[in-house]
């Protein structure tokens, strides 16, 4: 069974399924061809003195040559294996028809070749397909129209008629078997295609919000949307540069991965959308790409949970570094940028202000803008920190979110 599998998959490279179907089919046909030839040896022995000995030589020769097809596919290129199979098939039929005569109906197998031949090539190899079909058609016409192949003086009529009867049966069985194998091979190809499509879709969904991924799959229009109300959240680990100097790279990556994986889970729980990470900075948004009325409240609840989770993880790693969180609400623009390794991003003054809320904030505090405060003051408690100078934006009133207030505030 293992050798049988080696024959069928000769030349098929792992993880390269684009031409696997064509290569595997040429190996299958070569195997069927060899089997059909060997099965005729008994008939050759029965009619040995009536021309069977000559046919036996042809059968042994061509059955042996069939073993070269998988070898050519494996060691050289499928191009050589494919054309070697076609030429072997045509030359055997021509020689058999010349030896046994047209009454044996051996040349009828060329009609099956016309049906199977296109499956040996990819859709881009149209010139090769046309050439192969032309050779098969010309060979069939040569046997069918040539007067010299009507009867054979080298073999008895009884032998020819017996071969004709067996050829009809063999033709029907071979056609059924070939159709079944082609169906099975194409079914596997469709399964591989469906698997690759699902994997591609999963990868797309892992880097883009689901609604945006669906839009990309169904439209070529640029993704750029305006949102008049959304809330942006930034986090940053205090003193991360010092941590990176004292920890091994693998430990550092494990630390960040643990934190960000926990944050990802919290975002999913609270209905926020992750935008990106940049080193020790984490960025998320609520109300994008699907608008909602409680985007600011969701961000506040998520920020409190993120700070609690961060403290637990940092304590487990034996660290005491704090986390700064900044939140701001307002209008913004969201869309996809880049052609390669593209990303879904957000822009606008309100995004920049959210970043300033974090960068000019205080460790272990959730600093929010006045816009966010106004949206959440009825559900959460805040500490008014007065006005601060925000780089590039003048003086802004800021608030600290009371982490003990309304932890379970309803959405």
Does residue 214 sit within a domain?
A: no
**Whole-number pLDDT of residue 407:** 47
Does residue 28 sit within a domain?
A: yes
**Residue 374 pLDDT class (50, 70, 90 cuts):** very high
Q: Is the pLDDT of residue 16 over 60?
A: no
Q: How large is the average pLDDT for residues 155-184?
A: 83
**Whole-number pLDDT of residue 79:** 87
**What is the pTM assigned to this prediction?**
0.61
* Cα gap 367→324, rounded to integer Å: 8
**Whole-number pLDDT of residue 340:** 75
Which residue has better confidence, 208 or 258?
Answer: 258
289 and 167 both lie in a single domain: no
**Whole-number pLDDT of residue 7:** 77
148 and 239 both lie in a single domain: no
Digit-coded pLDDT (tens) for 55-67: 899 999 999 999 9
**Whole-number pLDDT of residue 253:** 94
234 and 193 both lie in a single domain: no
Digit-coded pLDDT (tens) for 27-56: 888 988 898 889 888 888 888 888 788 889
182 and 246 both lie in a single domain: no
Q: Is the pLDDT of residue 2 over 70?
A: no
Residue span of the structural domain in which 46 resides: 2-204
**CATH classification of the domain holding 395:** 3.30.70.1230
322 and 259 both lie in a single domain: yes
**Whole-number pLDDT of residue 270:** 96
Does residue 20 sit within a domain?
A: yes
**Whole-number pLDDT of residue 152:** 61
**Whole-number pLDDT of residue 290:** 94
**Whole-number pLDDT of residue 18:** 54
187 and 238 both lie in a single domain: no
Q: How large is the average pLDDT for residues 381-403?
A: 94
Phi, psi of 318 (to 5 degrees): 70, 30
**Whole-number pLDDT of residue 234:** 98
**Whole-number pLDDT of residue 43:** 86
């Amino acid at each position: 069974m293992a050798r049988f599998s080696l024959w069928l998959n000769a030349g098929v490279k792992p993880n390269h399924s684009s031409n696997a179907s064509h290569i595997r089919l040429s190996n299958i046909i070569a195997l069927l061809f060899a089997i059909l030839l060997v099965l005729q040896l008994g008939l050759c022995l029965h009619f040995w003195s009536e021309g069977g000995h000559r046919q036996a030589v042809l059968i042994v020769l061509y059955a042996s040559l069939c073993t070269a097809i998988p070898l050519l596919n494996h060691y050289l290129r499928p191009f050589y294996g494919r054309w070697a199979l076609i030429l072997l098939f045509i030359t055997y039929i021509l020689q058999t028809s010349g030896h046994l005569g047209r009454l044996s109906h051996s040349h009828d197998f060329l009609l099956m070749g016309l049906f199977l031949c296109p499956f040996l090539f990819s859709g881009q190899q149209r010139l090769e397909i046309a050439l192969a079909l032309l050779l098969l058609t010309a060979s069939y016409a040569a046997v069918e129209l040539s007067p010299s192949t009507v009867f054979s003086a080298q073999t008895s009529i009884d032998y020819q008629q017996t071969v004709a009867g067996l050829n009809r049966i063999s033709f029907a069985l071979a056609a059924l078997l070939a159709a079944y194998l082609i169906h099975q091979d194409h079914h596997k190809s469709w399964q591989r295609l469906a698997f690759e499509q699902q994997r591609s879709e999963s990868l797309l969904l892992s880097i883009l919000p689901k609604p945006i991924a669906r839009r990309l799959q169904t439209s070529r229009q640029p993704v750029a949307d305006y949102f008049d109300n959304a809330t942006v959240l930034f986090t940053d680990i205090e003193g991360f540069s010092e941590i990176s100097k004292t920890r091994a790279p693998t430990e550092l990556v494990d630390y960040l991965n643990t934190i960000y994986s926990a944050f990802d889970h919290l975002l999913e729980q609270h209905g926020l959308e992750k935008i990106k990470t940049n080193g020790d900075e984490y960025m998320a948004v609520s109300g994008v790409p699907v608008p909602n009325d409680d985007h600011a409240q969701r961000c506040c609840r998520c920020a409190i949970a993120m700070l609690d989770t961060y403290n637990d993880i940092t304590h487990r790693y034996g660290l005491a570094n704090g986390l700064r969180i900044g939140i701001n609400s307002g209008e913004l623009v969201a869309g996809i940028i880049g052609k390669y390794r593209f990303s879904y991003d957000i822009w606008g003054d309100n995004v920049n202000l959210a970043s300033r809320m974090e960068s000019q904030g205080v460790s272990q505090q959730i600093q929010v803008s006045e816009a966010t405060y106004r949206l959440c003051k009825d559900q959460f408690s805040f500490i008014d920190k007065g006005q601060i100078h925000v780089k590039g934006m003048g003086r802004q009133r800021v608030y600290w979110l009371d982490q003990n207030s309304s932890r379970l505030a309803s959405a």
